Chains A and B, each alone.
Chain A
Amino acid sequence: EDQVTQSPEALRLQEGESSSLNCSYTVSGLRGLFWYRQDPGKGPEFLFTLYSAGEEKEKERLKATLTKKESFLHITAPKPEDSATYLCAVQGSGGSNYKLTFGKGTLLTVNP
């Protein structure tokens, strides 16, 4: 069974203070690892897809990286508008697997 663990559960940063969020996973063959951002009362917003170890993707102040066991979401010089819950999900390649398995998320708060 696919499993995803995210840490820390909550992170509080000062504006401009860079940090990283962790996503550890176990899956029988990785089809893709996905990062989402979710604001309160809204649906998750797609950020990145990573497919293989060593892959990196960037978008504004966010950079996602992938190894065989974990992924990191690096946030450089965050702003208050980056405050949200960041979710990590995996999709395994075994059989007819079309579901995403999510972690519980990291609640990021960026103070001005």
Chain B
Amino acid sequence: KAGVTQTPRYLIKTRGQQVTLSCSPISGHRSVSWYQQTPGQGLQFLFEYFSETQRNKGNFPGRFSGRQFSNSRSEMNVSTLELGDSALYLCASSIDGTAEAFFGQGTRLTVV
């Protein structure tokens, strides 16, 4: 059974640019969540999608957005990148958002 797949694994972007990250959940999982992980703040919740609808959003600025497609795959977008956006971005999938969540390997974003 394939796990959660995130692409790309690594990204280097310049301040002011935008970036799109992709996540393919485990087959049959309809809930996809996104988290930002930094050494100082740990794992922080960005947003959660279920059946193409955003159900929860964390305390991040509007530059962070996401969407989910009909096949449950999800993307997140960060516009006008800042140095502080450098982090490991993790995607997690769950059957319905209340059961255990399984994480992908993450996308390491570096903003220079």
Contacts and interface: CB of A to CB of B under 8 A. Distances in A.
Sorting the interface of chain A by its residue count into under 10, 10 to 19, 20 to 34 or 35 or more gives 20 to 34
Interface stretch (A14-22, A63-71, A90-98): A90-98
A87 interface: yes
Given A43-B103, A43-B105, A87-B43, A99 B48 contact: yes
Given A31-B98, A43-B90, A104-B42, A99 B56 contact: yes
A61 to B, nearest CB: 20
A98 B48 contact: yes
B interface majority secondary structure:
strand
Nearest to A36: B103
Given A43-B103, A45-B103, A96 B55 contact: yes
25 contacts: A32-B98, A36-B103, A42-B105, A42-B106, A43-B90, A43-B105, A43-B106, A44-B103, A46-B102, A87-B43, A97-B56, A98-B31, A98-B55, A98-B98, A99-B45, A99-B48, A99-B56, A100-B33, A100-B92, A101-B45, A102-B35, A102-B43, A102-B44, A103-B42, A105-B42
